[in-house]
Amino acid sequence: MGEALARPLRADAERSVRAILEAAERTLAEDPGASMEHIAAAAGVARTTIHRRFASRQALIEALASSAARQLAQAVEDGRPDTAPPLVAMHRITANVLQVKSAWAFALELPADPDSEAAELHQGINSRCLAVLQRAQAEKLVDEAADLDWVRRVYYALIGESLHGNADSADPDALAARIIDTLLGGAGPRRP
């Protein structure tokens, strides 16, 4: 994360940074080559404000990726992955993740530098997902012989595909139920 964000910020400075990051998400999603000046205008702040907070366009993009990854990690934690029953946790986490991913699609698609905060957060999210899948496997919701890393990757793919064309119109809870049903039951006929 950029040096400007390393120390605690005043409330007005935090709002300014949040506005800049939200504007950067919207602006860069429409035009990945957008300038800092364009992002500042979209955020309703002076160009000097954006440069005071972020030393470069790359620093802004890294902060954007880290902020989105923190929100994604929080979405996972809000699903109570360690304490909620596995099926409940999977549903809550999925609905939460869908909301974050639809709001921060551009930032979450950015390739993370392996040493970045965003990459570290994504590794933690992967670990949390595997832990929930292990709990689900222990409760016989997932076949005991299933490769959980593969199941995790399929789960991520289902989330990603569900957002294509559905991000704005679908109810996150209904979409989460569909994703979990597909993950755990597949597309074959239902057994009585």
Buried b (16+ CB within 10 A) or exposed e, 26-43: ebbeeeeebebebbbbbb
For the chain, give the longest Cα–Cα distance.
65
Quick check: helix, strand or coil at residue 129?
Answer: helix
Buried b (16+ CB within 10 A) or exposed e, 142-155: beeeeebeebbeeb
Domains within the chain, CATH numbers bracketed:
1-55 (no CATH), 64-192 (1.10.357.10)
Buried b (16+ CB within 10 A) or exposed e, 44-63: ebeeebbbebbeebebbbbb
| Contact in structure between 99 and 79 (CB atoms under 8 Å) | no
What's the confidence (pLDDT) of residue 42?
A: 94
What's the confidence (pLDDT) of residue 192?
A: 60
Rounded to whole angstroms, the Cα distance separating 158 from 155 reads: 5
Displacement of CA 37 from its chain's centroid (Å): 26
Q: Phi/psi of residue 18, each to 5°?
A: -60, -45
Residue 9 in tokens: 């910020």
What's the confidence (pLDDT) of residue 112?
A: 81
The pTM of the full predicted model, rounded to 2 decimals, is 0.84
What's the confidence (pLDDT) of residue 133?
A: 96
| Contact in structure between 131 and 149 (CB atoms under 8 Å) | no
Average pLDDT of adjacent 10-residue blocks, the chain of 192 residues: 51 81 94 92 91 91 94 96 96 96 91 90 96 96 95 95 71 92 83 63
